[in-house]
């Protein structure tokens, strides 16, 4: 059985090690070339679910789904206002 994949990135201001203890990969960002964390795709595990729950990392798929749900609800509310 294949494990579910999670798309993650560290929350702003957080330093999160990978499950094996190695540092989170980074890439140069912008003109000043400060390191920025990259987005990772990892297998769902207790370690990552705990990091998500504590706010150390952001689940990008869940975040995108939540934004889409909020936008849909807003469109429904706007449609109701226009219909009255």
The pLDDT value given to residue 36: 85
| Alpha carbons 6 and 2: distance in angstroms, whole number | 12
Q: Are the C-beta atoms of residues 58 and 66 closer than 8 Å to each other?
A: no
pTM here?
0.69
Mapped to the 3 state alphabet, what secondary structure does the chain carry?
CCCCEEEEEECCCCCCCCCCCCCCCEEEECCCCEEEECCEEEECCHHHHHHHHHCCEEEHHHHHHHHHHHHHHHHHHHHHHHHC
Mean pLDDT of the chain: 85
Residues 59-74 pLDDT 10s:
998 877 777 777 788 7
């Amino acid at each position: 059985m294949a494990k579910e994949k999670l798309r993650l990135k560290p929350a702003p201001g957080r330093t999160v090690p990978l499950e094996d203890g190695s540092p989170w990969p980074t890439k140069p960002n912008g003109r000043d070339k400060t390191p920025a964390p990259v987005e990772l795709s990892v297998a769902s595990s207790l370690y990552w679910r705990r990091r998500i729950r504590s706010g150390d990392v952001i689940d990008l798929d869940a975040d995108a789904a939540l934004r889409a749900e909020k936008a849909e609800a807003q469109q429904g509310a706007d449609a109701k206002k226009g219909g009255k």
